[in-house]
Structure 1
Amino acid sequence: MRIDMASSNPPAAKMAPPFEPTIWGDFFINYTPEPLQSEERLRERVDQLKKVTSELFEFCSDSVVGTMKLVDTLEHLSIDHHFEGHIATALSNIHGAELDSSSLHDVALRFRLLRQHGLWVSPDEFDKFKEADGTFNDEIMSDPRGLLSLYNASYLLIPGEVELESAMLFSRHRLQAMVNDLASPLAEQVRRFLQIPLPRTLKRYEALQYIAEYKMEQECNPSILELAKLDYNLLQLAHQTELKAFSWWGNGLYEEVGLSYARDRIVEFYLWSFIVYYEQNYAPARIILAKLVLLASLLDDTYDTYATLEDSQKLNVAIQRWDMGAIPLLPDYLKKYYARVMDTFKEIEDELKQDDKYRMTYCRKGFQTLSSYYLQEAEWFHRNYMPRFQEQVNVSVITSGSTMLSVGLLVGMDVEANNEAFEWAIGCTDVVMACGKVTRFMDDLAAFKRGKNKMDVPSSLECYINEHHVTSEVAITVLDGLVEDAWKTINRERFVCTTLLPIVNRVINLTTSMSVLFHDGGDGYTYNKDSEGMIEKLFAKPIPL
Structure 2
Amino acid sequence: MASINCSAVPRLAPSFEPSVWGDFFINHTPDTLQISDEKMTERVNQLKLEVSGLFGACKNAVEKLNLVDALQHLGIDHHFEEPIAITMSSIHNAEFISSSLHEVALRFRLLRQHGFCVSADEFSKFKDEGGRFVNDITNDPKSLLSLYNAANLLTHKEGQLEEALLFSRHHLEVMQCNLESPLAEQVERALKIPLQRNVKREEAIHYIPEYSVQDEMYNAAILELAKLDFNCLQRIHQKELKAISMWSKNIFEDIKLDYARDRMVECYFWAYSCVYEEEYARSRIVLAKLLMLTSILDDTFDEHATLEECRLLAKAIERWDETDVSLLPEYLQKFFLQIISNFKEFDKLLEPHEKYRSAYIRKVFQNISKSYLQEAEWSHHDYTPSFDEQVNISVKSAGGDLVAIGALFGLGDIATKEIFKWAITNSGTVRACGEISRFMDDLADFKRGRNKIDVATTIECYMKENNVTSEVALAKIVSFVDDAWKTLNQELFERRAPLKIVKIITNFARSMMFLYHDKRDGYTNSKEVKGALESHFVKHIPI
Could you say if the C-alpha distance between residues 256 and 10 of structure 1 is closer, same or farther in structure 2, counting changes exceeding 3 Å? farther
Deviation (angstroms), 1:10: 6.6
Q: Tell me the distance in 2 between the aligned counterparts of 1:487 and 1:498.
A: 17
- Does the residue aligned with 1:209 lie in a helix, a strand or coil? helix
From 27, 31, 43, give the equivalent of 1:30. 27
Please show how residues 74-473 of structure 1 align to structure 2 within 5 Å: 74-217=71-214, 219=216, 220-473=218-471
Contact 1:392 1:463 in 2 (8 A): yes
- Does the residue aligned with 1:158 lie in a helix, a strand or coil? coil
Q: Tell me the distance in 1 between the aligned counterparts of 2:193 and 2:497.
A: 29
Deviation (angstroms), 1:468: 1.2
Deviation (angstroms), 1:455: 2.2
Q: Given residue 175 of structure 1, which amino acid in structure 2 is its aligned partner? A: L
Contact 2:400 2:431 in 1 (8 A): yes
Contact 1:17 1:453 in 2 (8 A): no
Contact 2:199 2:514 in 1 (8 A): yes
Contact 2:274 2:504 in 1 (8 A): yes
Q: Tell me the distance in 2 between the aligned counterparts of 1:38 and 1:439.
A: 40
Query: Any idea what the Cα deviations from partners look like across 1:215-258, whole Å, max 9, x if unmatched?
Result: 21253211111110010111100000000000001111111111
Deviation (angstroms), 1:453: 2.5
* Counterpart position of 2:530: 532
> Residue 64 in 1 paired to residue 58 in 2?
no
- Does the residue aligned with 1:98 lie in a helix, a strand or coil? coil
Query: Any idea what the Cα deviations from partners look like across 1:10-41, whole Å, max 9, x if unmatched?
Result: 722x5245211111111001000011212222
Q: Tell me the distance in 1 between the aligned counterparts of 2:192 and 2:172.
A: 12
Query: Any idea what the Cα deviations from partners look like across 1:373-430, whole Å, max 9, x if unmatched?
Result: 1111000011110111111111100010111111111100001111011001111112
- Does the residue aligned with 2:52 lie in a helix, a strand or coil? helix
Deviation (angstroms), 1:331: 0.9
- Does the residue aligned with 1:495 lie in a helix, a strand or coil? coil
From 40, 53, 74, give the equivalent of 2:38. 40
Contact 1:410 1:422 in 2 (8 A): yes
Q: Tell me the distance in 2 between the aligned counterparts of 1:332 and 1:17.
A: 18
Deviation (angstroms), 1:4: 7.4
| TM-score, normalising length: structure 2 | 0.98
Structure 1 runs of 4+ aligned residues shifted over 3 Å read: 7-10
Deviation (angstroms), 1:149: 0.6
Q: Given residue 213 of structure 1, which amino acid in structure 2 is its aligned partner? A: E
Could you say if the C-alpha distance between residues 107 and 251 of structure 1 is closer, same or farther in structure 2, counting changes exceeding 3 Å? same
Q: Tell me the distance in 2 between the aligned counterparts of 1:244 and 1:10.
A: 38
Q: Tell me the distance in 2 between the aligned counterparts of 1:156 and 1:425.
A: 22
* Counterpart position of 2:507: 509
Contact 2:48 2:79 in 1 (8 A): yes
Contact 1:370 1:399 in 2 (8 A): yes
Query: Any idea what the Cα deviations from partners look like across 1:327-362, whole Å, max 9, x if unmatched?
Result: 011111110000010000001101110110110101
Structure 1 residues 470-479 or 92-101, which shifts more? 92-101
- Does the residue aligned with 1:470 lie in a helix, a strand or coil? coil
Q: What runs of 5+ residues in structure 1 fail to find an aligned partner?
A: none
* Counterpart position of 2:488: 490
| TM-score, normalising length: structure 1 | 0.97
Deviation (angstroms), 1:198: 0.5
Q: Tell me the distance in 2 between the aligned counterparts of 1:384 and 1:234.
A: 52
- Does the residue aligned with 1:457 lie in a helix, a strand or coil? coil
Deviation (angstroms), 1:499: 4.0
Q: Tell me the distance in 2 between the aligned counterparts of 1:88 and 1:498.
A: 18
Query: Any idea what the Cα deviations from partners look like across 1:163-201, whole Å, max 9, x if unmatched?
Result: 101100000000000111111100111011000010111
Deviation (angstroms), 1:323: 1.2
Contact 2:3 2:328 in 1 (8 A): no
Could you say if the C-alpha distance between residues 226 and 500 of structure 1 is closer, same or farther in structure 2, counting changes exceeding 3 Å? same
Q: Tell me the distance in 1 between the aligned counterparts of 2:8 and 2:57.
A: 68
Could you say if the C-alpha distance between residues 239 and 128 of structure 1 is closer, same or farther in structure 2, counting changes exceeding 3 Å? same
Query: Any idea what the Cα deviations from partners look like across 1:254-305, whole Å, max 9, x if unmatched?
Result: 1111111100001101011000010000011000000100111011111111
Deviation (angstroms), 1:528: 1.8
Contact 2:14 2:258 in 1 (8 A): no
Deviation (angstroms), 1:9: 3.7
Q: Tell me the distance in 2 between the aligned counterparts of 1:42 and 1:504.
A: 31
Contact 1:78 1:228 in 2 (8 A): yes
Query: Any idea what the Cα deviations from partners look like across 1:31-72, whole Å, max 9, x if unmatched?
Result: 000112122222221111111101100001x40000000000
Q: Tell me the distance in 2 between the aligned counterparts of 1:164 and 1:210.
A: 26
Deviation (angstroms), 1:139: 1.8
- Does the residue aligned with 1:18 lie in a helix, a strand or coil? coil
Q: Tell me the distance in 2 between the aligned counterparts of 1:238 and 1:58.
A: 32
The percent of aligned pairs where both chains have the same amino acid is 52
Deviation (angstroms), 1:507: 1.1
Contact 1:118 1:498 in 2 (8 A): no
Query: Any idea what the Cα deviations from partners look like across 1:103-157, whole Å, max 9, x if unmatched?
Result: 1111111111111111110000000101121110112111100100110111111
RMSD between aligned alpha carbons? Answer: 1.4
Q: Tell me the distance in 1 between the aligned counterparts of 2:541 and 2:153.
A: 31
Could you say if the C-alpha distance between residues 223 and 530 of structure 1 is closer, same or farther in structure 2, counting changes exceeding 3 Å? same
- Does the residue aligned with 1:216 lie in a helix, a strand or coil? helix
Deviation (angstroms), 1:97: 1.2
Contact 1:442 1:483 in 2 (8 A): yes
Q: Tell me the distance in 1 between the aligned counterparts of 2:483 and 2:42.
A: 46
Q: Tell me the distance in 1 between the aligned counterparts of 2:160 and 2:497.
A: 28
Q: Given residue 233 of structure 2, which amino acid in structure 1 is its aligned partner? A: L
Q: What runs of 5+ residues in structure 2 fail to find an aligned partner?
A: none
